[in-house]
A and B are shown apart, each in its own frame.
Chain A
Amino acid sequence: MNHPVRNASFKPPTRLEDYLVGTAFPSGHLVEINAAWRSERPAIDSERCTNCLICWLLCPDGVIRKTGDGRLEIDYDYCKGCGICARECRFDVIRMEKEGL
Protein backbone atom coordinates (compact mmCIF):
# COMPACT_ATOMS: atom_id res chain seq x y z
CA MET A 1 0.00 0.00 0.00
CA ASN A 2 1.22 3.48 -0.85
CA HIS A 3 1.29 5.35 2.46
CA PRO A 4 1.71 9.07 2.72
CA VAL A 5 4.98 9.75 4.47
CA ARG A 6 6.44 12.80 6.05
CA ASN A 7 8.30 15.00 3.61
CA ALA A 8 11.47 15.44 5.63
CA SER A 9 12.87 18.06 3.28
CA PHE A 10 9.85 20.36 3.67
CA LYS A 11 10.82 23.66 5.26
CA PRO A 12 7.89 25.41 6.95
CA PRO A 13 7.62 29.10 6.04
CA THR A 14 9.14 31.53 8.49
CA ARG A 15 8.35 34.79 6.65
CA LEU A 16 4.90 36.01 5.57
CA GLU A 17 5.91 36.26 1.93
CA ASP A 18 6.80 32.56 1.86
CA TYR A 19 3.27 31.41 2.73
CA LEU A 20 0.93 30.15 0.04
CA VAL A 21 -1.93 32.33 -1.10
CA GLY A 22 -5.06 30.47 -0.12
CA THR A 23 -5.08 26.88 1.02
CA ALA A 24 -4.35 24.84 -2.13
CA PHE A 25 -0.99 23.08 -1.98
CA PRO A 26 0.78 20.25 -3.78
CA SER A 27 -0.70 16.86 -2.86
CA GLY A 28 0.93 13.70 -1.61
CA HIS A 29 3.02 14.61 1.37
CA LEU A 30 2.65 15.32 5.06
CA VAL A 31 4.55 18.23 6.46
CA GLU A 32 4.08 17.86 10.22
CA ILE A 33 4.57 15.09 12.76
CA ASN A 34 1.38 14.26 14.65
CA ALA A 35 2.25 11.98 17.55
CA ALA A 36 2.67 14.25 20.55
CA TRP A 37 -0.26 12.96 22.59
CA ARG A 38 1.08 9.37 22.68
CA SER A 39 1.81 8.16 26.24
CA GLU A 40 2.59 4.56 25.23
CA ARG A 41 4.08 3.21 22.02
CA PRO A 42 3.42 -0.22 20.49
CA ALA A 43 6.43 -2.45 19.92
CA ILE A 44 6.17 -5.49 17.62
CA ASP A 45 8.22 -8.56 18.48
CA SER A 46 9.23 -9.38 14.88
CA GLU A 47 10.72 -12.75 15.84
CA ARG A 48 7.33 -14.07 16.99
CA CYS A 49 5.09 -12.09 14.58
CA THR A 50 3.26 -14.44 12.17
CA ASN A 51 2.52 -11.63 9.71
CA CYS A 52 -1.24 -12.30 9.97
CA LEU A 53 -1.81 -8.57 9.27
CA ILE A 54 -4.75 -8.13 11.64
CA CYS A 55 -3.01 -5.09 13.21
CA TRP A 56 -2.27 -3.71 9.76
CA LEU A 57 -5.97 -3.98 8.92
CA LEU A 58 -7.27 -2.52 12.18
CA CYS A 59 -4.87 0.36 12.85
CA PRO A 60 -7.19 3.42 12.68
CA ASP A 61 -4.34 5.68 11.58
CA GLY A 62 -2.89 3.34 8.95
CA VAL A 63 0.59 3.69 10.40
CA ILE A 64 1.55 -0.03 10.36
CA ARG A 65 3.50 -0.73 7.19
CA LYS A 66 4.54 -3.84 5.36
CA THR A 67 8.26 -3.59 4.71
CA GLY A 68 8.20 -6.13 1.87
CA ASP A 69 10.50 -8.63 3.60
CA GLY A 70 7.75 -10.18 5.74
CA ARG A 71 8.13 -7.77 8.65
CA LEU A 72 5.85 -4.98 9.87
CA GLU A 73 6.98 -1.59 11.07
CA ILE A 74 5.22 1.29 12.75
CA ASP A 75 5.43 4.92 11.60
CA TYR A 76 5.90 6.63 14.96
CA ASP A 77 5.54 10.08 13.33
CA TYR A 78 1.78 9.47 13.19
CA CYS A 79 1.05 6.61 15.66
CA LYS A 80 -1.24 7.97 18.40
CA GLY A 81 -0.57 5.13 20.83
CA CYS A 82 -4.19 4.00 20.99
CA GLY A 83 -3.19 0.36 21.67
CA ILE A 84 -5.75 -1.23 19.33
CA CYS A 85 -2.99 -3.22 17.60
CA ALA A 86 -1.74 -4.64 20.91
CA ARG A 87 -5.27 -5.46 22.04
CA GLU A 88 -6.22 -7.18 18.77
CA CYS A 89 -3.00 -9.13 18.16
CA ARG A 90 -3.98 -12.84 18.30
CA PHE A 91 -0.44 -13.95 19.11
CA ASP A 92 0.23 -11.35 21.80
CA VAL A 93 3.43 -10.12 20.17
CA ILE A 94 2.66 -6.36 20.37
CA ARG A 95 3.53 -4.74 23.69
CA MET A 96 2.68 -1.20 24.77
CA GLU A 97 5.76 0.50 26.25
CA LYS A 98 5.73 3.69 28.31
CA GLU A 99 6.94 6.71 26.35
CA GLY A 100 9.94 8.41 27.85
CA LEU A 101 9.17 11.90 29.14
Chain B
Amino acid sequence: MSSGSKTFISGNEAIAAGVRLVRPHVIAAYPITPQTTVIERLAEMVADGTLSAEYLHVESEHSALSACIGGSAVGARTFTASSSQGLLYMVECMHYASGGRFPVVMMNANRSVALPWNIYGDQRDSLSLLDSGWIQVYAEDAQESLDLVIQAYAVAEHPDVLTPVMVNLDGFVLTHTYELVNVPDQVDVDDFLPPFQTTNKMDPDRPMSLGFTAGPQHNQAFKQLQHLAMLSAERVIRETEERFGQLFGRNYPGLVDAFLCEDAEYVIVTLGSVAGTVRPVVERLRAMGERVGLLRIRYMRPFPEHEIRAALAGVKSVGVLEKDISFGYEGTVFTNVNSALTRTGAKAPRLLNFIGGLGGKDISVTDIEALFARLQASDEGETVTFV
Protein backbone atom coordinates (compact mmCIF):
# COMPACT_ATOMS: atom_id res chain seq x y z
CA MET B 1 0.00 0.00 0.00
CA SER B 2 1.12 3.50 -0.78
CA SER B 3 2.84 5.49 1.94
CA GLY B 4 2.89 8.95 0.35
CA SER B 5 4.27 11.91 2.26
CA LYS B 6 2.69 14.09 4.94
CA THR B 7 2.62 17.78 4.04
CA PHE B 8 1.08 20.84 5.73
CA ILE B 9 -0.87 22.52 2.91
CA SER B 10 -4.10 24.39 2.21
CA GLY B 11 -7.14 23.01 0.42
CA ASN B 12 -6.12 24.84 -2.73
CA GLU B 13 -2.57 23.51 -2.50
CA ALA B 14 -3.97 20.02 -2.01
CA ILE B 15 -5.89 20.43 -5.27
CA ALA B 16 -2.71 21.61 -7.05
CA ALA B 17 -0.75 18.67 -5.62
CA GLY B 18 -3.46 16.28 -6.84
CA VAL B 19 -3.54 17.85 -10.30
CA ARG B 20 0.24 17.48 -10.66
CA LEU B 21 -0.07 13.77 -9.82
CA VAL B 22 -2.63 13.10 -12.59
CA ARG B 23 -0.15 14.42 -15.22
CA PRO B 24 -2.54 16.78 -17.09
CA HIS B 25 -1.58 17.75 -20.63
CA VAL B 26 -3.42 21.08 -20.58
CA ILE B 27 -4.20 23.52 -17.77
CA ALA B 28 -6.20 26.61 -18.72
CA ALA B 29 -7.55 28.89 -16.04
CA TYR B 30 -8.22 32.49 -15.13
CA PRO B 31 -7.55 33.64 -11.57
CA ILE B 32 -10.37 34.53 -9.18
CA THR B 33 -10.48 34.69 -5.41
CA PRO B 34 -10.59 32.24 -3.64
CA GLN B 35 -9.42 29.87 -6.38
CA THR B 36 -6.25 31.84 -7.27
CA THR B 37 -3.67 29.91 -5.28
CA VAL B 38 -4.62 26.67 -7.06
CA ILE B 39 -3.52 27.98 -10.41
CA GLU B 40 -0.60 29.94 -8.94
CA ARG B 41 0.83 26.73 -7.47
CA LEU B 42 0.28 24.93 -10.79
CA ALA B 43 1.99 27.76 -12.69
CA GLU B 44 4.97 27.47 -10.32
CA MET B 45 5.13 23.71 -10.86
CA VAL B 46 5.17 24.17 -14.64
CA ALA B 47 7.79 26.93 -14.31
CA ASP B 48 10.11 24.87 -12.09
CA GLY B 49 9.72 21.80 -14.28
CA THR B 50 8.06 19.55 -11.70
CA LEU B 51 4.93 19.46 -13.87
CA SER B 52 5.07 18.99 -17.63
CA ALA B 53 1.86 20.54 -18.97
CA GLU B 54 0.73 23.13 -21.49
CA TYR B 55 -0.26 26.02 -19.21
CA LEU B 56 -2.50 28.38 -21.15
CA HIS B 57 -2.87 32.00 -20.06
CA VAL B 58 -6.36 32.83 -21.25
CA GLU B 59 -8.28 36.09 -21.21
CA SER B 60 -11.41 34.78 -19.49
CA GLU B 61 -13.07 31.82 -17.86
CA HIS B 62 -15.12 31.30 -21.02
CA SER B 63 -11.84 30.86 -22.90
CA ALA B 64 -10.36 28.70 -20.13
CA LEU B 65 -13.05 26.07 -20.44
CA SER B 66 -13.12 26.40 -24.23
CA ALA B 67 -9.39 25.64 -24.29
CA CYS B 68 -9.95 22.59 -22.08
CA ILE B 69 -12.70 21.37 -24.41
CA GLY B 70 -10.33 21.82 -27.36
CA GLY B 71 -7.62 19.91 -25.52
CA SER B 72 -9.99 17.15 -24.56
CA ALA B 73 -11.21 16.95 -28.18
CA VAL B 74 -7.75 15.77 -29.24
CA GLY B 75 -7.50 13.33 -26.36
CA ALA B 76 -5.66 15.45 -23.78
CA ARG B 77 -6.22 15.30 -20.03
CA THR B 78 -7.30 18.79 -19.01
CA PHE B 79 -7.82 20.83 -15.85
CA THR B 80 -9.38 24.17 -15.07
CA ALA B 81 -10.50 25.94 -11.91
CA SER B 82 -12.80 28.81 -11.13
CA SER B 83 -15.26 30.31 -8.67
CA SER B 84 -18.44 32.34 -8.42
CA GLN B 85 -18.62 35.00 -11.18
CA GLY B 86 -15.90 33.21 -13.14
CA LEU B 87 -17.80 29.94 -12.98
CA LEU B 88 -20.93 31.69 -14.19
CA TYR B 89 -18.97 33.14 -17.10
CA MET B 90 -18.07 29.54 -18.07
CA VAL B 91 -21.64 28.32 -18.12
CA GLU B 92 -22.15 28.27 -21.88
CA CYS B 93 -19.02 26.13 -22.26
CA MET B 94 -20.06 23.85 -19.40
CA HIS B 95 -22.94 22.59 -21.52
CA TYR B 96 -20.59 22.17 -24.50
CA ALA B 97 -18.23 20.07 -22.37
CA SER B 98 -20.91 17.80 -20.94
CA GLY B 99 -22.84 17.49 -24.21
CA GLY B 100 -19.63 16.74 -26.14
CA ARG B 101 -18.79 14.15 -23.45
CA PHE B 102 -15.41 15.73 -22.77
CA PRO B 103 -14.12 14.57 -19.36
CA VAL B 104 -12.68 17.89 -18.21
CA VAL B 105 -12.08 18.17 -14.46
CA MET B 106 -12.69 21.51 -12.78
CA MET B 107 -12.08 22.69 -9.25
CA ASN B 108 -14.59 25.26 -8.05
CA ALA B 109 -14.02 27.38 -4.97
CA ASN B 110 -17.55 27.88 -3.70
CA ARG B 111 -18.20 31.59 -3.33
CA SER B 112 -21.24 33.83 -3.19
CA VAL B 113 -22.66 35.44 -6.31
CA ALA B 114 -23.01 39.22 -6.71
CA LEU B 115 -24.82 41.50 -5.93
CA PRO B 116 -23.99 42.50 -3.22
CA TRP B 117 -20.41 41.70 -4.17
CA ASN B 118 -18.69 39.36 -1.75
CA ILE B 119 -15.71 37.02 -1.97
CA TYR B 120 -16.69 34.63 0.82
CA GLY B 121 -18.10 31.18 0.65
CA ASP B 122 -21.56 29.95 -0.10
CA GLN B 123 -22.68 27.35 -2.61
CA ARG B 124 -25.06 29.33 -4.78
CA ASP B 125 -22.54 29.37 -7.66
CA SER B 126 -22.31 25.62 -8.24
CA LEU B 127 -25.79 24.64 -7.01
CA SER B 128 -27.33 26.89 -9.65
CA LEU B 129 -25.58 24.65 -12.21
CA LEU B 130 -26.92 21.24 -11.24
CA ASP B 131 -28.56 21.02 -14.67
CA SER B 132 -25.37 21.68 -16.64
CA GLY B 133 -24.58 17.98 -17.05
CA TRP B 134 -21.50 17.98 -14.82
CA ILE B 135 -20.86 15.55 -12.01
CA GLN B 136 -20.71 17.63 -8.82
CA VAL B 137 -18.88 16.58 -5.67
CA TYR B 138 -18.35 18.56 -2.45
CA ALA B 139 -15.27 18.05 -0.26
CA GLU B 140 -15.17 18.35 3.52
CA ASP B 141 -11.42 18.75 4.08
CA ALA B 142 -8.10 19.17 2.26
CA GLN B 143 -7.24 15.45 2.17
CA GLU B 144 -10.57 14.62 0.61
CA SER B 145 -10.01 17.46 -1.91
CA LEU B 146 -6.71 15.99 -3.07
CA ASP B 147 -8.10 12.45 -3.23
CA LEU B 148 -11.22 13.65 -5.07
CA VAL B 149 -9.27 15.38 -7.82
CA ILE B 150 -7.41 12.13 -8.55
CA GLN B 151 -10.60 10.06 -8.39
CA ALA B 152 -12.43 12.65 -10.52
CA TYR B 153 -10.29 11.80 -13.57
CA ALA B 154 -10.88 8.07 -13.11
CA VAL B 155 -14.64 8.68 -12.98
CA ALA B 156 -14.83 11.33 -15.73
CA GLU B 157 -12.72 9.35 -18.20
CA HIS B 158 -14.43 6.00 -17.59
CA PRO B 159 -15.92 4.86 -20.93
CA ASP B 160 -19.34 4.34 -19.31
CA VAL B 161 -19.29 7.91 -17.97
CA LEU B 162 -17.31 10.34 -20.19
CA THR B 163 -18.74 13.29 -18.31
CA PRO B 164 -16.94 16.30 -16.82
CA VAL B 165 -16.53 16.60 -13.06
CA MET B 166 -16.64 19.67 -10.82
CA VAL B 167 -14.84 19.28 -7.48
CA ASN B 168 -16.19 21.87 -5.01
CA LEU B 169 -14.34 23.33 -2.03
CA ASP B 170 -15.89 25.91 0.29
CA GLY B 171 -14.21 29.26 -0.31
CA PHE B 172 -11.65 30.18 2.36
CA VAL B 173 -12.96 27.73 5.00
CA LEU B 174 -11.55 24.93 2.89
CA THR B 175 -9.51 26.56 0.14
CA HIS B 176 -7.30 28.57 2.52
CA THR B 177 -7.19 26.44 5.67
CA TYR B 178 -3.94 24.54 6.22
CA GLU B 179 -4.12 20.91 7.20
CA LEU B 180 -1.84 17.91 7.36
CA VAL B 181 -2.37 16.13 4.04
CA ASN B 182 -0.97 12.87 2.74
CA VAL B 183 0.30 13.45 -0.81
CA PRO B 184 0.44 10.11 -2.64
CA ASP B 185 3.54 8.90 -4.49
CA GLN B 186 3.59 9.50 -8.25
CA VAL B 187 4.19 5.83 -9.02
CA ASP B 188 1.00 4.84 -7.23
CA VAL B 189 -1.11 7.50 -8.92
CA ASP B 190 0.29 6.35 -12.29
CA ASP B 191 -0.84 2.86 -11.35
CA PHE B 192 -4.29 4.06 -10.29
CA LEU B 193 -4.86 6.38 -13.25
CA PRO B 194 -3.52 5.23 -16.64
CA PRO B 195 -3.28 7.76 -19.50
CA PHE B 196 -6.59 8.99 -20.92
CA GLN B 197 -7.85 6.90 -23.85
CA THR B 198 -10.92 7.75 -25.90
CA THR B 199 -12.34 7.27 -29.37
CA ASN B 200 -14.24 10.56 -29.03
CA LYS B 201 -11.39 12.68 -30.38
CA MET B 202 -9.88 14.28 -33.44
CA ASP B 203 -6.82 12.42 -34.67
CA PRO B 204 -4.78 13.02 -37.89
CA ASP B 205 -4.42 9.26 -38.36
CA ARG B 206 -8.17 8.73 -38.08
CA PRO B 207 -9.82 11.93 -39.33
CA MET B 208 -12.96 12.89 -37.43
CA SER B 209 -15.21 15.90 -37.40
CA LEU B 210 -16.77 17.47 -34.34
CA GLY B 211 -20.43 17.29 -35.16
CA PHE B 212 -22.06 20.19 -33.42
CA THR B 213 -25.61 19.80 -34.61
CA ALA B 214 -28.27 17.16 -34.16
CA GLY B 215 -31.74 18.05 -35.34
CA PRO B 216 -35.04 17.47 -33.58
CA GLN B 217 -35.11 13.84 -34.63
CA HIS B 218 -31.82 12.94 -32.89
CA ASN B 219 -31.01 15.66 -30.35
CA GLN B 220 -32.98 14.18 -27.49
CA ALA B 221 -31.24 10.82 -27.88
CA PHE B 222 -27.89 12.48 -27.11
CA LYS B 223 -29.41 14.09 -23.99
CA GLN B 224 -30.92 10.79 -22.91
CA LEU B 225 -27.49 9.16 -23.30
CA GLN B 226 -25.95 11.92 -21.15
CA HIS B 227 -28.49 11.14 -18.44
CA LEU B 228 -27.78 7.40 -18.61
CA ALA B 229 -24.01 8.05 -18.45
CA MET B 230 -24.52 10.23 -15.38
CA LEU B 231 -26.54 7.46 -13.73
CA SER B 232 -23.74 4.98 -14.57
CA ALA B 233 -21.38 7.28 -12.72
CA GLU B 234 -22.95 6.17 -9.41
CA ARG B 235 -21.52 2.68 -9.87
CA VAL B 236 -18.23 3.94 -11.28
CA ILE B 237 -17.75 6.31 -8.33
CA ARG B 238 -18.16 3.43 -5.86
CA GLU B 239 -15.80 1.18 -7.84
CA THR B 240 -13.26 3.99 -8.11
CA GLU B 241 -13.36 4.66 -4.36
CA GLU B 242 -12.92 0.97 -3.62
CA ARG B 243 -9.89 0.75 -5.89
CA PHE B 244 -8.53 3.96 -4.38
CA GLY B 245 -8.97 2.59 -0.86
CA GLN B 246 -7.10 -0.61 -1.70
CA LEU B 247 -4.19 1.30 -3.19
CA PHE B 248 -3.93 4.31 -0.90
CA GLY B 249 -5.54 3.10 2.33
CA ARG B 250 -8.06 5.93 2.49
CA ASN B 251 -11.62 4.69 2.18
CA TYR B 252 -14.51 6.86 1.06
CA PRO B 253 -18.15 6.06 1.78
CA GLY B 254 -19.74 6.53 -1.65
CA LEU B 255 -22.07 9.32 -2.66
CA VAL B 256 -23.14 10.15 0.89
CA ASP B 257 -21.31 10.08 4.22
CA ALA B 258 -23.67 8.97 7.01
CA PHE B 259 -22.43 9.73 10.54
CA LEU B 260 -24.32 8.08 13.42
CA CYS B 261 -27.51 7.86 11.36
CA GLU B 262 -28.40 4.17 12.01
CA ASP B 263 -30.75 4.69 14.96
CA ALA B 264 -31.03 8.47 14.66
CA GLU B 265 -34.33 10.30 15.11
CA TYR B 266 -33.07 13.76 14.18
CA VAL B 267 -30.60 14.24 11.33
CA ILE B 268 -29.00 17.27 9.75
CA VAL B 269 -28.31 16.84 6.03
CA THR B 270 -25.67 19.13 4.58
CA LEU B 271 -22.71 19.30 2.20
CA GLY B 272 -19.18 20.61 2.25
CA SER B 273 -17.09 21.88 5.11
CA VAL B 274 -19.96 22.78 7.45
CA ALA B 275 -20.25 19.05 8.08
CA GLY B 276 -17.06 19.48 10.10
CA THR B 277 -18.99 21.81 12.44
CA VAL B 278 -22.02 19.53 12.70
CA ARG B 279 -19.97 16.41 13.52
CA PRO B 280 -18.72 17.43 17.01
CA VAL B 281 -22.22 18.69 17.89
CA VAL B 282 -23.63 15.27 16.98
CA GLU B 283 -20.95 13.59 19.13
CA ARG B 284 -21.70 15.82 22.10
CA LEU B 285 -25.48 15.35 21.85
CA ARG B 286 -24.99 11.62 21.45
CA ALA B 287 -22.94 11.59 24.67
CA MET B 288 -25.97 13.18 26.33
CA GLY B 289 -28.20 10.41 25.03
CA GLU B 290 -29.80 12.29 22.12
CA ARG B 291 -30.40 10.20 19.01
CA VAL B 292 -29.02 12.61 16.44
CA GLY B 293 -27.00 12.15 13.25
CA LEU B 294 -25.35 13.84 10.28
CA LEU B 295 -25.80 12.95 6.63
CA ARG B 296 -23.23 14.64 4.43
CA ILE B 297 -24.14 14.58 0.76
CA ARG B 298 -20.88 14.23 -1.17
CA TYR B 299 -22.22 14.02 -4.71
CA MET B 300 -25.09 16.30 -5.79
CA ARG B 301 -24.96 14.89 -9.35
CA PRO B 302 -25.54 12.08 -9.84
CA PHE B 303 -27.96 12.52 -6.94
CA PRO B 304 -27.77 9.67 -4.38
CA GLU B 305 -31.50 9.26 -3.86
CA HIS B 306 -31.30 5.58 -2.82
CA GLU B 307 -28.54 6.21 -0.28
CA ILE B 308 -30.44 9.18 1.16
CA ARG B 309 -33.64 7.16 1.53
CA ALA B 310 -31.73 4.30 3.15
CA ALA B 311 -29.82 6.55 5.55
CA LEU B 312 -32.92 8.49 6.63
CA ALA B 313 -35.35 5.55 6.94
CA GLY B 314 -37.02 5.74 10.34
CA VAL B 315 -35.81 9.28 11.10
CA LYS B 316 -38.46 11.55 12.71
CA SER B 317 -37.19 14.97 11.60
CA VAL B 318 -34.67 15.96 8.94
CA GLY B 319 -33.13 19.40 8.64
CA VAL B 320 -31.44 20.24 5.35
CA LEU B 321 -28.79 22.87 6.10
CA GLU B 322 -27.50 24.53 2.95
CA LYS B 323 -25.66 27.61 1.73
CA ASP B 324 -28.13 28.19 -1.06
CA ILE B 325 -31.60 29.55 -1.74
CA SER B 326 -33.70 29.35 -4.88
CA PHE B 327 -35.53 32.64 -4.39
CA GLY B 328 -39.26 32.27 -4.20
CA TYR B 329 -39.27 28.64 -3.07
CA GLU B 330 -36.59 26.91 -0.95
CA GLY B 331 -32.99 25.69 -1.02
CA THR B 332 -32.15 23.50 -4.01
CA VAL B 333 -30.55 20.80 -1.88
CA PHE B 334 -33.80 20.65 0.10
CA THR B 335 -35.82 20.29 -3.12
CA ASN B 336 -33.65 17.33 -4.12
CA VAL B 337 -33.70 15.64 -0.69
CA ASN B 338 -37.44 16.20 -0.34
CA SER B 339 -38.00 14.60 -3.73
CA ALA B 340 -35.86 11.57 -2.84
CA LEU B 341 -37.78 11.04 0.42
CA THR B 342 -41.30 11.50 -0.92
CA ARG B 343 -41.27 10.05 -4.44
CA THR B 344 -41.71 6.41 -3.38
CA GLY B 345 -44.92 7.13 -1.48
CA ALA B 346 -43.42 5.74 1.76
CA LYS B 347 -43.99 7.79 4.90
CA ALA B 348 -41.42 10.60 4.86
CA PRO B 349 -39.91 12.26 7.92
CA ARG B 350 -40.77 15.84 8.82
CA LEU B 351 -38.56 17.99 6.63
CA LEU B 352 -37.20 21.42 7.44
CA ASN B 353 -34.91 23.62 5.39
CA PHE B 354 -32.26 25.73 7.08
CA ILE B 355 -30.64 28.36 4.85
CA GLY B 356 -27.35 29.64 6.21
CA GLY B 357 -23.84 30.74 5.45
CA LEU B 358 -24.81 32.98 2.54
CA GLY B 359 -22.01 35.37 1.63
CA GLY B 360 -19.78 33.66 4.20
CA LYS B 361 -22.06 34.25 7.22
CA ASP B 362 -20.65 32.10 9.98
CA ILE B 363 -22.50 28.94 10.99
CA SER B 364 -21.41 28.28 14.60
CA VAL B 365 -21.63 25.29 16.91
CA THR B 366 -24.32 27.19 18.83
CA ASP B 367 -26.31 27.60 15.59
CA ILE B 368 -26.12 23.85 14.95
CA GLU B 369 -27.27 23.08 18.50
CA ALA B 370 -30.25 25.38 17.97
CA LEU B 371 -31.08 23.57 14.70
CA PHE B 372 -31.13 20.20 16.45
CA ALA B 373 -33.35 21.73 19.15
CA ARG B 374 -35.72 22.94 16.42
CA LEU B 375 -35.80 19.44 14.90
CA GLN B 376 -36.57 17.94 18.31
CA ALA B 377 -39.33 20.46 19.05
CA SER B 378 -42.74 19.58 17.68
CA ASP B 379 -43.62 23.07 16.47
CA GLU B 380 -45.05 23.28 13.00
CA GLY B 381 -43.44 26.62 12.04
CA GLU B 382 -42.14 27.63 8.63
CA THR B 383 -40.49 24.95 6.48
CA VAL B 384 -37.79 27.34 5.26
CA THR B 385 -35.93 29.43 7.83
CA PHE B 386 -32.67 31.40 7.74
CA VAL B 387 -29.88 30.55 10.18
Chain A contact patch, size range: 10 to 19
Flag if B218 contacts A13 (CB, 8 Å). Answer: yes
Interface size on B, residues (CB 8 A): 27
Specify the chain A residue showing the minimal Cβ separation from B209: A27
B interface with A by C-beta (< 8 Å): 73, 99-102, 159, 162, 199-202, 207-212, 214-215, 217-218, 221-222, 224-225, 228-229
Judge whether A22 and B224 touch: CB under 8 Å. Answer: no
A10 within 8 A of B: no
A12 to B211: give the CA distance in the assembly, Å.
Answer: 14
Question: Which of B99, B199, B211, B218: most chain A Cβ within 10 A?
Answer: B211
C-alpha spacing A12/B215, complex, angstroms: 12
Structural contact, A27 and B212, CB atoms closer than 8 A = no
Contacting pair B225 A25 (CB below 8 A): no
Alpha-carbon distance A23/B207, docked complex (angstroms): 13
Which of B102, B207, B215 has a CB less than 8 Å from the CB of A22?
B102
Q: Which of A16, A21, A32 is in CB contact (< 8 Å) with B224?
A: A16
- A68 at the binding interface (Cβ < 8 Å): no
Within residues 46 to 79 of chain A, which ones have a CB less than 8 A from any CB in chain B? Answer: none
Contact partners of B229 in chain A: CB under 8 A: 21
Which residues on A sit within 8 Å (CB–CB) of B221?
A: 13, 16, 19
Residues of B within 8 A of A20 (CB): 200
- A24 & B208 in contact (Cβ 8 Å cutoff): yes
| Chain A: minimal CB distance from B162 (Å) | 6
Contact with B along A10-49 (1 / 0, CB 8 A): 0011001001111111111000100000000000000000
B202 cross-chain contacts in A, Cβ below 8 A: 24
Contact A12/B200 with A19-B225, A25-B208 known, Cβ cut-off 8 Å: no
Per the bound structure, the CA–CA distance linking A90 and B162 in Å amounts to 55
Residue of A12, A22, A25, A32 with most chain B CB atoms under a 10 A cut-off = A22
